[in-house]
Amino acid sequence: MRLEIRGLTIAYGEQVALREVSLAVAPGEVVALIGPNGAGKSTLIRGISGVLGIRSGEVRFGERDLTALSNAERARILAVVPQARQVGGAFTVEQIVLLGRTAHINWLGQARPKDHAAALWAMQQTAITHLAERRNAELSGGEQQRVLLARALAQRTPVLLLDEPTNHLDLRHQISFLSLVRNLAHRKNLAVLMAMHDLNQVSTYADRVALLVDGSLLALGAPGEVLTAEHISAAYQTPVQVIPHPEYKTPMILPKREGD
């Protein structure tokens, strides 16, 4: 089953932030959301996850309408890695990852053996088992981001949403994190929708790309179809040159200096 967004419109009061956006994410696929600041990337992620109400349209997984589900039911279908690392520094890594089991834990709030097993599996997938007893405040930014990914994986959902997860990481940790997400999507058959800023990383790590401009979908397709000089120059209002990557043959976006 795939995640489907059909004609989604979201507004803040009278201000329309997203206009009739439609796209789908298949199992085993990474779809990158790109666009200039204010284009609607985070709004779309928050609308799909239920944080924001929608004015019209549908969010479906198979035959299920996610907008009609409770928070707990939705949390069994999709997990979110947020833009900011909003976790208390006093929590241990294992405690944070176990929070991903909230939708599965019984009414007494007690984690069962299968919840601990799911948390262990998630830490193994993200290579952080050696950090289990460490406190969040003691971790590097890259380690903290892996912890949030592990928390999302512990939910054991078929859909994973990520909102600009590498914003505050250095290049090495960005590449490590994006490689991990791509490999997990392909190996575990996850449908991944990820808001991103770095267009060259999008070209390298995404299977398909959705380009948003002013709340509308300008282009959707493979990186080579979307990351063209025409699309990028129009969306970002800046001239660029696009050349093939020397190894992967994917598009590389090179900015042109203004005034030259």
CA distance 60 to 144: 31
Domain with CATH 3.40.50.300 in the chain: 3-77+157-255
pLDDT by residue for the chain (260 residues), tens digit each? 999 999 999 998 889 999 999 999 999 999 999 999 999 999 999 999 999 989 999 999 999 999 999 988 999 999 999 876 666 678 899 999 999 998 877 666 677 899 999 999 999 999 999 999 999 989 988 899 899 999 999 999 999 999 999 888 889 989 999 999 999 999 999 999 999 999 999 999 999 999 999 999 999 999 999 999 999 999 999 999 999 999 989 999 999 887 66
pLDDT in tens, 225-238: 999 999 999 999 99
**Residue 68, exposed/middle/buried by CB under 10 A (0-12, 13-18, 19+)?**
exposed
Q: What is the pTM of this model?
A: 0.93
30: Cα separation from own chain's centroid: 9
Q: For the domain covering 3-77+157-255, report its CATH number.
A: 3.40.50.300
